[in-house]
Structure 1
Amino acid sequence: MSSAEVSIEQKTQLLLNDPAALANHSYETWGHLPRAEVDAMQLIGLKKRFAAFRDRIPTLKKLADAEGVHTVEQLDDVVPLLFEHTIYKSYPPSLLERHNFTQINRWLSKLVTPEVAEQILAADVSACRGLDDWFAAMDAAVPQLVLSHTSGTSGTVSFLPHSAREYEKAFEARRLFIWNMTGPHTPQPELHTAFPYYRSGYLSHLRGNDFMIKVLLPDETHFRAAYPARLSSDVLHLGAKIRAAHARGTLDRLEISAELAAKKKAFDELQADMPKHLEAFFERIAHDIKGKRAFIYATWNLLHNMAKAGLARGLEGVFAADSYITTAGGAKGMVQPEGWVEDILRFTGAKKLNQSYAMSEVLGSHMLCEHGHYHLNPTVIPYLLDPETSKPLPRTGRVTGRAAFYDLSTETRWGGFISGDEITIEWDERCPCGRPSRYIVGPIQRYSEKNGGDDKITCAASENAHREAMDFLNTLEG
């Protein structure tokens, strides 16, 4: 069957379940999906996701009932049902302090579909003494669920319930770019990864490493991490709590258990050994993969730190010129030094640095084109909300507002999400690069940075409906 004979309904099924196949595994096709087709698929896909999740995800049902939303006819119909980012950290913090992971599982079960919730509730996590124990227990009990957490800069971490298949779909779409695919039979390149951080961990940007290896690399031996260990989530959480307590002036009242103190000591010892690990890391790079094609994906500061350390050791042009070096996530409130991109390119030897806009809560990445625009991924429906009311802004012209998204790739949870970012979208004019997709222009800024640290999201749902949904989420009995 030719692509012309594939119905919009069939294309929508591919967009939801196998997006790389929608583009016939071609990078060029993926970047030039017709705008009208994407619009049609996104609306059909949203209707399908809403129908599948509306009455089956308890927190969504509570909110939809209160708002009286029973069907979706247009994209803006779900705006009152978009979850604000705080929902994934809305559990009572005392549950973590008391290691009450059974109750945290009850909270989590209200954010996912019944099949996954049943397994979450059946998992025996009563013996878990911290986050590391809990994540390991959940991996064993619910293998199709890939729980991750955010960095928790506020002192409270968010828990994100992605599925394994969601990660696979995201990397299968990225593979189109990274392999420069021209079709389903594009041969697998001999790619190597030099990763300037820990091999594994439950932090959201480490969770994807296993899927990256599975989808993009020949095997595990082609992945070299600066630190072969697993990053402790308990120690990360402690660090966030220390920073938050210091900011509040309550550091002298922070209690640290003997178990956590022991983990912190082990982490400090690893930190002390980091120069040795780094030396071994650069030796492996220079000896094993110099001149070879590399794929490296990390935050800009990790990439830049790796480049500076490598350049200080006299390493330049380490990898093949067609290596794919990429970063996402933006500056995260940090000042990016002049020449950081040039440092990375000088060290790696790659022709360009591929940048994208992405976040832990939404797995689809929006790639930066040669004209400085982030092109919106077809698996993600973008919204712009009024920063004061969170009501939807027009989907026409060039508009600035609070970024919100519906992630069509989600299979176990509701994909609607309100971010903390201010962005500008060009809805009508085509980008000079020739890609037909809509795109983000200009700088991306966090409202918390813009407002001096404060970012109070006014939910688009009525205040009572949203409060009732949050109260329901935190009713942990039964």
Structure 2
Amino acid sequence: MTSALDQLIGLQATPERYDIAQQDLIPLQLEAANERLQSRREQIPLLKNRASTAGVDKITDRADLVPLLFAHSAYKSYSENWLLEGRWDRMAKWIRTVSTYPLDGLDLEGVDGLDGFVSRLQTVGYYVTCSSGTSGKPALISCSGADLKISATANVQEFSWATGVQPEGDRRFFGLGPRTTVERNEHTRIALTNAFSSPDSSFQLDVPPITVGSIMDMIALRKRIGDGSADPSEVAAFEQLSAQRQKAMDEALSGAVDELIACREHKLLLTGMFATLYPIAAGVRAKGFDSSHFRDDTALLVGGGLKGATLPENYREFILATFNIGENRIYHFYTMQELNTPFPKCRSGRYHVPPWVIALPLDEPGERLLDTESGEIQGRAAFLDLSLDGRWGGVISGDRVTMDFSSCACGHQGPTVGQDITRYADLGGDKISCAGTIDAYVRGEA
């Protein structure tokens, strides 16, 4: 007999996955959550600690999941000195506390920097993703090979669900943003290219890929510049590097403009962030081209926010009008590095939570599950992603969101997240009650 977990994950390939009422999903989700707890409790040290502390042996209600959730800060709770001093043995022990599988066979001899550490982890099946590190240091989150496949497949399937564009390999794929060396991102890019285009019919912005180590180095340097501890030579090197990167980006954007104009009569799939798409659209307009020169079946995959970029108020309309992109051909989604699957936005402007992800709206401290039967509610976003293999899928995020567990205006069922998403850190603070205990445990202080 197929397990509840397999049944839920199997819905990934079904077109009716967003047509299941919440009350019909809950029993299956709770059974699957209990399966995950029983199989992972002895494998993930932090989960075992949380379950023992809370006295939770079995999942029978969604409220049972709350004390088992990890604060998002758990994935950045390593000691920064371990990273700066190259204590890779300590970093390996730390990442093991929040991951599923052992590190048997990991050789750390001669590791040179964070990029070298990440590469060595891959030799034993640990694929690390990295957050932006806006709080001062990045989260380092491990995935398994199974996670890479599920995440890549989900992005292809949710793109088709949101836009109606089928994976027929008949489009010119444009990657209009810098690549990273993060394996999950690369797997997703390759999956999208293979599904909707081909390697020979794809374009990638011509800038060097961004590595996990370079992200960390830049964060650390900005922090030292901000607190005044950076010496003049570091500041000068930072300014020179920034100028070089900006020059390379300007040249790459110019090349993208020319390539888009040359391919304007083809079916296109554009991917990127608005902050990069806007100057490209402006460059196309500057050369005398607009919507009248592009086909009306161009599709767009856009991820992330503006990331600090300053754009005109009409930036979105300007981009869509430039490339003749209809609202029905846009794939926008909500997700976070701690999750494995995206939540696609529907025509009514709400993000749909996949049935293998349990949505758990909490109060601001992250201690109590809010009532999910009272219509739209506002609270702290928390989730249990049951598709995750390489780590525990339960996370308390730093986002304040609105959730609704009734039918969506688009006609689909199941929980949805509204577009009004705000970081608690931007509202004056992001204190999650369980974070202190978690931080102490994973650093070996509790």
Residue type at the aligned position of 2:424: Y
Who is 1:30 aligned against? Answer: 17
Equivalences, count? 440
Structure 1 position 70, deviation (Å): 1.1
Partner SS state of residue 227, structure 1: coil
| Distance (Å, rounded) in 2 between the aligned partners of 1:123 and 1:256 | 34
- Check the 8 A contact 2:5/2:35 in 1, yes or no: no
* Counterpart Cα distance in 2 of 1:53 and 1:264: 47
Alignment of 1:171-186 (within 5 A): 171-179=152-160
Shift in alpha-carbon separation, 1:413–1:268, aligned structure 2, 3 A: same
Higher strand share: 1
1:375 aligns with 2:358: no
What is the CA distance between 1:226 and its match in structure 2? 1.2
- Corresponding residue of 1:4: none
Asked if structure 2 preserves the Cα contact closer than 8 Å seen for 1:319 and 1:348, the reply is yes
Match of 1:125 in 2: 108
Residue 395, structure 1, aligned to residue 395, structure 2 = no
Counterpart of 1:237, as a letter, is M
**Could you tell me how far 1:473 is from its partner in structure 2?**
1.8
After superposition, what is the alpha-carbon deviation per residue over 1:26-50, rounded to whole angstroms, capped at 9, x for unaligned? Answer: 3xx2332343433333222211111
Q: What is the aligned-residue RMSD (CA, Å)? A: 3.2
Whether 1:313 aligns to 2:287 is yes
After TM superposition, give the deviation of residue 410 of structure 1 in Å.
0.3
Separation in 1 of the partners of 2:243 and 2:184? Answer: 22
1:110 shift after superposition:
1.6
Aligned match of 1:3? none
Q: Deviations over 1:38-69 (max 9, x none)?
A: 33332222111111111211111112112211
SS state of the match for residue 345, structure 1?
helix
> C-alpha separation between the residues in 2 aligned to 1:314 and 1:390?
56
Is structure 2 residue 327 aligned with structure 1 residue 340?
no
**Matched residue, 2:385:** 407
Q: How does 1:205-354 map to 2 (within 5 A)?
A: 208-214=188-194, 216-247=195-226, 249-252=227-230, 269-287=244-262, 289-317=263-291, 320-331=295-306, 337-352=312-327, 353-354=330-331
Q: What's the counterpart of residue 48 of structure 2?
A: 61
8 Å Cα contact 1:154-1:240 kept in structure 2: no
What is the distance in 2 between the residues matched to 1:193 and 1:19? 27
Partner Cα separation in structure 2 for residue 389 and residue 123 of structure 1: 36
Map 1:122-161 → 2, pairs under 5 A: 122-139=105-122, 141-142=123-124, 144-161=125-142
Give the corresponding residue for 1:20: 12
2 CA distance for matches of 1:20 and 1:124? 36
Mapped to 2, the partners of 1:240 and 1:207 lie a distance apart of 25
Q: Give 2:373's aligned amino acid.
A: T
Aligned with 2:175 (options 174, 177, 195): 195
Q: Is the 8 A contact 1:150 1:203 kept in 2?
A: no
Give the structure, 1 or 2, with the largest relative contact order (CA under 8 Å, sep 6 or more): 2
Give 1:435's match in structure 2, choosing from 412, 420, 429.
412
Mapped to 2, the partners of 1:182 and 1:273 lie a distance apart of: 33
**Structure 1 CA distance for aligned equivalents of residues 419 and 162 of structure 2:** 29
Q: Return the offset for 1:181.
A: 10
Q: Please name the residue that 1:455 is paired with.
A: 430
Cα distance in 2 between the residues matched to 1:201 and 1:425 = 33
1:173 CA drift (Å): 3.0
Contact 1:179/1:188 (CA < 8 Å) preserved in 2? no
Aligned CA distance change for structure 1 residues 67 and 36 (closer, same or farther; 3 Å): closer
- Determine helix, strand or coil for the equivalent of 1:124: coil
1:108–1:36 distance in 2 versus 1, CA, 3 Å: same
Taking a change above 3 Å as real, the CA distance of residues 316 and 38 of structure 1, as seen in their structure-2 partners, is farther
Residue identity opposite 1:358 in structure 2: T
Instruction: Specify whether residues 104 and 265 from structure 1 end up closer, same or farther in structure 2 by C-alpha distance, changes over 3 A only.
Output: farther
In 2, are the aligned partners of 1:242 and 1:251 still within 8 Å (CA)? no
| d(CA) in 2 for partners of 1:212, 1:87 | 31
1:105 match: 92
Deviation string 1:243-262 (CA, Å, 9 cap, x unpaired) is 33344x333369969xxx6x
Q: State the alpha-carbon separation in 1 of the partners of residues 146 and 202 from structure 2.
A: 21
Whether the aligned pair in 2 keeps the contact of 1:193 and 1:296 (CA below 8 Å) is yes
User: Structure 2: which amino acid aligns with 1:307?
Assistant: A
* Partner Cα separation in structure 2 for residue 59 and residue 159 of structure 1: 15
- Once the two structures are TM-superposed, the CA of residue 364 in structure 1 deviates from its matched residue by 2.0
AA aligned to 2:354 is N
CA deviation profile, 1:330-387 (whole Å, cap 9, x unmatched): 4557666421221221222221233222112112222222222222222221111111
User: Is the contact made by 1:153 and 1:244 (CA closer than 8 Å) also made in structure 2?
Assistant: no
Indicate the larger mover: 76-85 or 340-349.
340-349
Q: Which amino acid aligns with 1:240?
A: I
Q: Which amino acid in the other structure matches residue 399 of structure 1?
A: I
How far the C-alpha of 1:403 sits from its partner, in A, is 0.6
Q: Which runs of 5+ in 2 are unaligned?
A: none
Q: Secondary structure at the match of 1:165?
A: helix
Q: Structure 1 residues 264 and 338, CA, compared in 2 at 3 Å: closer, same or farther?
A: closer
